[in-house]
Amino acid sequence: MTDTAIKIQNLVKFFDGRCVLDGIDLAVPKGCIYGLLGRNGSGKTTTIRILLGQDFPTRGQTYLLGCESDKLKPKTKGRIGYVAEGHNLIQHYRVGRLIKLCKD
């Protein structure tokens, strides 16, 4: 068992010859909360899609809960929560309150 929830090693992704992810490395310990921030088109959604096994990297490795992202089992996928843009969260709540609400 691993103490790392998310691990990304040298993640590279090209679309039509354009590099959208260039050698990303990241390790998120279990129990931690991280956010991906950046401008439109900076690769946030692409990174998440690769982590969830919905897309494939040009190069590099990604792991979720100790499993390679492209080999996630249904049981592991069932432990993952992801809210894409267009969410229906309560707009006037602060981030901390939303996290507590979802945690409860």
What DSSP element (H or E) covers 49? helix 44-51
Question: Is residue 57 within 8 Å of 51, Cβ to Cβ?
Answer: no
Domains of the chain: 4-103 (3.40.50.300)
Q: How far apart are CA 84 and CA 99, in angstroms?
A: 16
Confidence at residue 18, expressed as pLDDT on a 0 to 100 scale: 93
Kindly state the DSSP code that residue 94 receives in the 8-state scheme. Answer: -
The yes-or-no verdict on residue 25 having pLDDT over 70 is yes
pLDDT tens digits, 72-82? 888 888 778 77
Average pLDDT over residues 21-47: 92
The yes-or-no verdict on residue 1 having pLDDT over 70 is no
Burial of 7 (0-12, 13-18, 19+ CB in 10 A): buried
What DSSP element (H or E) covers 91? none
Q: How many whole angstroms from its chain centre is CA 21?
A: 13
The yes-or-no verdict on residue 96 having pLDDT over 70 is yes
